[in-house]
Amino acid sequence: MSRIARLRSAGAPLALVALLAFGPGALAADAPLLRSKQSGPWSAKETWDAGRVPATGDRVVVRAGHTVAYDADSKDVIRLVQVAGTLEFARDRNTRLEVGLLTVTYGEEPSEEGFDCHAVSGPPKPGVARPALLVGTPEAPIPQKYTALVRLHHLPGMDKESCPAVVCCGGRMEFHGAPLSRTWVKLAKTVPAGATSAPLAEVPTGWRAGDRVILTSTKQPGGFGRGGGDGSQTEVRVLAGIDVADAKDPKGAARLDAAVKFEHYAEGNYCGEIANLSRNVVVESADPDGARGHTMYHRHSAGSVSYAEFRHLGKKDVLGRYALHYHLCGDTMRGSYVQGVSVWDSHNRWLTVHGTQYLIVRDVVGYKTVGHGFFLEDGTEVHNVFDRNLGAVVLPGKPLPKQMLPFDQNKGGAFWWANCQNTFTNNVAADCAEYGFKFECRKTADFDPVLPIRQADGTVKKQDVRTLPFVRFENNEAHAMRFFGLNLRGITRPDGFGSQKSFYDLNDVLKADAAGAHPDARRPFWVKNFRVWESNWSVHAGTSGVFLDGVDVFRAEYGIWRSVMDRHTYKNVSFKEIRNKDLHMPFSIGAPAEDDETGKEYFRGIPGFTDNLPPTTVVTSVVRSGSKVLVRGTTADTSAVRKVTVNGVEARATRDNFTAWEVELDAPTGKLTVTAGATDRGGNVEKTPHVVTVE
């Protein structure tokens, strides 16, 4: 009998005994260890080599080759669950796992490392099953009438900087809740202060009474030029139900549990949002005021996340410990996606994409974070797609210790990136401390922006990431912005500034940096159909080679503010109800488009502008049904996509420009290889189609 066991037999609590008798590291060494003996239910003693069910304080290893069905709704706090086999949550009941550290790894030797992978993983080996954590699957999510909860506890002896956590090291990790038709929708009409009902522009399915919802702020918060103060008017309420459509509200209305305190504006093109934060699959910190948890995928991992809720996560001021984190995955997780997820009350980002390519992020709701929300970390990230996401309430942070990019002040942007060769479409940023959308990259004494970047043919080449264009930046929106709606390599507002001279001095630095970082004259930073309202500085560009193709500014202090105007062209720019009488908005008007489809000779001032980049395609699911298989995916491209083919069969677009598509194929039994690629209207053919093999 161990020392802890002897003291426990006298009735002393496990945590107290360990701390008093052996110090903070004792539990890691002395906590009981249970290993799976065979496949079976978690709640069956026969499943475990100790002949009993796991209990508070235990370390648990699910061994390779074993499948354990997690069927418990238990308050026992398991110290460690290490999955080298398969741990699959039940779909016919409510489940709850209270745990300190949950890891998915090939290693069976227990480890309490909550960040790095203690077992070396590489590409999946043929014939060797991946370790897997399955909290629902894409084909079989947790049904709506049940919940699956993973609650993360920091326990004595664990590293506070890395634990508690959920970490996937080369295995497969899936979190999938009941789908919603929409995770957020626009308001149909203004919701006045005191109202208990919110008219909806469209009625979502899957929303239920008791769900937590937010109504986004539609007023510029107090800030520079507006008298200071926080001023956020984003409100949290509980959904009482959704009324059926009638003549008064032809598309229905959300009933709220309590009246709103503020007006939420919705007129014409300028409408606030209502978003649902509740999901039936939840990962959360047990003690949001203490050591919070984080989740992460490592290189060569697999799996996706859909309609799950990540709340009270993220370690404040700690590098790499984010609410949801793809860490240096490169292109090894091509096919992974984050869809319909809610991430809220984070102390460190909503979603971080670090050194990772081809991730699809769609219909995600981020609410309340410290520091940037949707964050691409080091400037090497390309071919990721951010589509129809909502980010609301971004609080200011501070630079993190040993962060990758020294110039990032972490002031608080809903979307922040250092390499534009990604896709941003149909996203909304609201109520942010500093930026709605921010592209920032500059050369400093300790950072060289010439980085190794994946090319269209799959090779890697060093490029100055300050000069790389968007794949697509279109139909994005920012409102209720304290400072910047869209900031493209522009000024980072200095702390405590008060004089206009500080801006002029910064502009000199900005121009010097921009002078040596011109984009290709044929491929500018193309911003298409950007709407910004209730803001201070609506659009600010500190880089040359910008094409603003449709900018709609409403009720702002400034329209286009103090930009580097070299090689800029503006088309279809609209300013309405600009509040600042001493307006700073120099602009020039571009020529009409000659060919919207290919982008060739698109506007005067950028001779020979052309799209010479091929599309990029990601297969997000392959589902068998008898002798058929349904393949779904996403394609991104600078111009219009002509077609997507899967094994030679043309796919059907389910969203504009093949941003989502599907195709049904004949699929005889046995191994099936799916190859998906695209061609755009300019004739560019994808050089590295996505190849997926399924059994």
In which band, very low, low, confident or very high, does the pLDDT at 566 lie, cut at 50, 70 and 90? confident
DSSP code, position 187:
B
Strand partners, 438: 416, 487
CATH of the domain at 631: 2.60.40.650
| 230 shares a domain with 174 | no
Give the residue, 215 or 128, on which the prediction is more confident: 215
Separation of alpha carbons 537 and 24, rounded Å: 51
| 556 shares a domain with 407 | yes
Give the residue, 151 or 668, on which the prediction is more confident: 151
> Do the beta carbons of residue 444 and residue 407 sit within 8 Å?
yes
| 170 shares a domain with 124 | yes
Describe the strand order of the beta sheet including 672-680 as a list of residue ranges: 649-650, 641-646, 672-680, 690-694
Strand partners, 167: 103, 296
- Alpha helices per DSSP H over 415-559: 500-515
Q: What does the pLDDT read at residue 22?
A: 38
| 495 shares a domain with 377 | yes
Give pLDDT tens digits for 371-399: 999 999 999 999 999 999 999 999 999 99
State mean pLDDT over 667-678. 91
Residue 5, in any domain of the structure: no
Separation of alpha carbons 175 and 324, rounded Å: 12
| 376 shares a domain with 286 | no
Angle CA 380–385–386, to nearest 5:
110
| 320 shares a domain with 255 | no
Mean of per-residue pLDDT scores for the chain: 89
* 3 state DSSP class of 14: helix
Do the bridges between strand 235-243 and strand 212-215 make them parallel or antiparallel, or are there none, so unpaired? Answer: antiparallel
* Region at 413 (left for phi over 0; alpha for psi -120 to 50; beta for the rest): beta
State mean pLDDT over 417-438. 97
| 497 shares a domain with 483 | yes
Report residue 259 CA to chain centroid gap.
Answer: 31
Separation of alpha carbons 494 and 51, rounded Å: 62
Residue 24 tokens read as 């903070």
Is residue 118 predicted with pLDDT exceeding 80? no
Q: What does the pLDDT read at residue 492?
A: 79
| 305 shares a domain with 245 | no
Separation of alpha carbons 115 and 118, rounded Å: 9
pTM for the model stands at: 0.92
Domain boundary pick from 255, 278, 301: 278
Give pLDDT tens digits for 303-359: 999 999 999 999 999 999 999 999 999 999 999 999 999 999 999 999 999 999 999
In which band, very low, low, confident or very high, does the pLDDT at 474 lie, cut at 50, 70 and 90? very high
CATH of the domain at 189: 2.40.30
- In 3D space, the residue among 481, 602, 650, 607 whose CA is nearest the CA of residue 553 turns out to be 481
Give pLDDT tens digits for 1-30: 444 555 455 555 444 444 444 344 445 668
Domain encompassing residue 625:
616-694
Structural Rg of the chain based on CA atoms: 26
Angle CA 620–622–627, to nearest 5:
165
* 3 state DSSP class of 372: coil
Domain boundary pick from 278, 313, 335: 278
